[in-house]
C-alpha cells in the first residue's frame, strides 16, 4: 500500500469512528457508512469499507457483528477515547483539536 493510500485509509477510519460516536447507540451498518464516507470524499466500494471495519476491529476501536450479509460496527471505549483525544490508536488518523 502506498503512503497516500495508507493516509486515505487512516482518514476513513477516523471518519467512521467520529460518525459512530455521534450515534445514540454508537452503531451503524456498512451501507450507511459507505454514504457517510462519500460525504467526506472517500468514494470507495462496500468491500473496501468492510476492510476498514475489520481493521478497526483488529485495532480494538469497534466491535463487528453481522446481520445477514451486512456488517454492523459498534464503537468501543478505545475508539471513543481516540476520537476524544484521550489516547492514540496507531493506524487511525488523529482527530483535530476541534473534533
Q: Which domain holds residue 34?
A: 3-83
Residue 48 lies in a domain: yes
DSSP 10-64: HHHHHHHHHHHHHSTTSEEEHHHHHHHHHHTT----HHHHHHHHHHHHHTTSEEE
Output the CA torsion 33→36→41→45 (10° steps): 30
Number of domains in the chain: 1
Q: Judge whether 24 lies within some domain.
A: yes
What is the distance between the terminal CA atoms of the chain, rounded to a whole angstrom? 27
Domain annotation covers residue 96: no
Residue 98 lies in a domain: no
What is the value of pTM for the model shown?
A: 0.95
If one compares 98 and 27, the residue with the highest pLDDT of the two is: 27
Asked if residue 89 is part of any domain, the answer here is no
Tell me if 79 is assigned to some domain: yes
pLDDT in tens, 76-91: 999 999 999 999 999 9
Render pLDDT for 14-54 as a digit per residue (tens, 0 to 9): 999 999 999 999 999 999 999 999 999 999 999 999 999 99
How far apart are alpha carbons 9 and 6 in whole angstroms?
5
The domain that holds 15 is classified in CATH as: 1.10.10.10
Amino acid at each position: 500500500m502506498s503512503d497516500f493510500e495508507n493516509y486515505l485509509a487512516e482518514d476513513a477510519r477516523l471518519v467512521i469512528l467520529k460518525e459512530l460516536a455521534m450515534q445514540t447507540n454508537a452503531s451503524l451498518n456498512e451501507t450507511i457508512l459507505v454514504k457517510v464516507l462519500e460525504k467526506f470524499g472517500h468514494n470507495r466500494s462496500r468491500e473496501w469499507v468492510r476492510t476498514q471495519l475489520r481493521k478497526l476491529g483488529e485495532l480494538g476501536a469497534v466491535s463487528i457483528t453481522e446481520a445477514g450479509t451486512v456488517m454492523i460496527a459498534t464503537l468501543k471505549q478505545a475508539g471513543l477515547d481516540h476520537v476524544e483525544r484521550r489516547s492514540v490508536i496507531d493506524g487511525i488518523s488523529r482527530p483535530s483539536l476541534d473534533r
